[in-house]
Amino acid sequence: MGRIDEALRRTGGNQPAEEQTRAVANPNVFESPWSFDETGTHRAVTPPAAEVGGPPTEIPPRVPAARPSGDNILAPEAQMAVFHGFRKDFLDRLVIGSTISPYMAEQYRRLAATLHHAQLVQGLKTILVTSAHAGDGKSLTATNLALTLSESYRREVLLIDADLRRPSLHEIFDVPNIAGLNEGLKTEGDGRLSVLKVSDTLTLLPAGRPEPDPMGGLTSSRMRRIIEEAGSRFDWVIIDTAPVGLLADANILGAMADGALIVIRAAKTPYAEVTKAIDALGRERVLGVVLNGTDTPPKNEAEYRYYASNRKPEQG
């Protein structure tokens, strides 16, 4: 049985909620690359990779991605906002927060490690993050994956909010959503997109103002060019898109990405909806599923807490 099928067995109705896995908040997590005051304001500079857990030793030093010549669509120098810090009520769910469970943080590192290996073997770079339906946690998963790849792995990452109907990444990053991908797709000619530089290694392209019918923009040659240029300028491109089980948006973008991750919520997402979402994208394009919202601690949670605490082994 494949990993996808194994994960599907744990969706709603196939396993009691009390048998699912939950990450319990614990302050003993790897040191955040950002420091926050009581209001959540960004105050510090990103520390070296070793201070945030660092990549495994087999990961080679980063080689800067090639930059295309001529005019670029993406324009990091033309920022439409300044990042001051994540919204406070999201901090306990972000891998850079001080209260996230070390078990949960480690799962994102494991996911990033899997993608890193796939990149080395298959050349994957552009990853779509979607879900079967709304509320499964795809946007938070996309954010945490982007943070892990950019901070722990020190890769240059572009995070795109392509959920143009109900964008949400601007809420997590606490920035205005007055301009972004939506406006860029409507721009005639080769007008450049304004992006937000979150850190030295993480860039955000917000969705912009919501669009009830974004299909014209998503199917345009300009959208494809944006994805292609992003792939040439960044080590990783993470695309948060609308739920594939509800709308056709993810299907369209999926054809432009190298692979897709489907986020499912434990004890909530019906098995039939997940399989429908996988079939809609094409099983061959699905890299895996992310089980979200589990509600019982893993048996080895204590081990994660112990290793994350950096305490010396007890003598006995």
Write the CATH number for 98. Answer: 3.40.50.300
Per-residue pLDDT tens digits for 193-239? 878 899 999 999 999 999 989 999 999 999 999 999 999 999 999 99
Domain that holds residue 111: 3-43+72-308
Residue 295 pLDDT: 67
Query: Amino acid identity, residue 248?
Result: A
Tell me the C-alpha distance between 316 and 313, whole Å.
Answer: 9
Question: Which tens digit of pLDDT belongs to each residue from 117-140?
Answer: 999 999 999 999 999 888 889 999
Confidence of residue 187 (pLDDT cuts 50, 70, 90): confident
- Any domain includes 57: no
Residues 177-186: what's their mean pLDDT?
89
pTM of the shown model: 0.74
Asked if the model's pLDDT at residue 153 lies above 50, the reply is: yes
Q: Is residue 65 part of a domain?
A: no
Domain count, the chain: 1
Q: Report d(CA 243, CA 197) in Å as an integer.
A: 26
Which CA distances in Å does 127 have to 147, 193, 236, 253? 14, 20, 8, 10
Is 208 part of any domain?
Answer: yes
Query: Do the domain assignments include residue 227?
Result: yes
Percent of the chain with pLDDT over 70: 66
The token duo for 148 is 């892990």
> Does residue 49 lie within any of the structural domains?
no
Percent of the chain with pLDDT over 90: 36
Report if residue 135 sits inside a domain: yes
Rounded to the nearest 10 degrees, what angle do helices 301-308 and 102-122 cross at? 90
| Mean pLDDT of the region 112-120 | 93
Question: What confidence tens digit (pLDDT) does each residue in 267-312 have?
Answer: 888 888 888 888 888 888 999 999 887 765 555 555 555 555 555 5
Q: Does 222 reside within a domain? A: yes
Mean pLDDT of 234-253: 88
pLDDT in tens, 49-103: 323 333 333 444 454 454 444 456 665 445 556 788 899 888 888 998 888 888 8
Mean residue pLDDT across the chain: 75
End-to-end CA distance of the chain: 43
pLDDT of 226 reads 92
62 within some domain: no
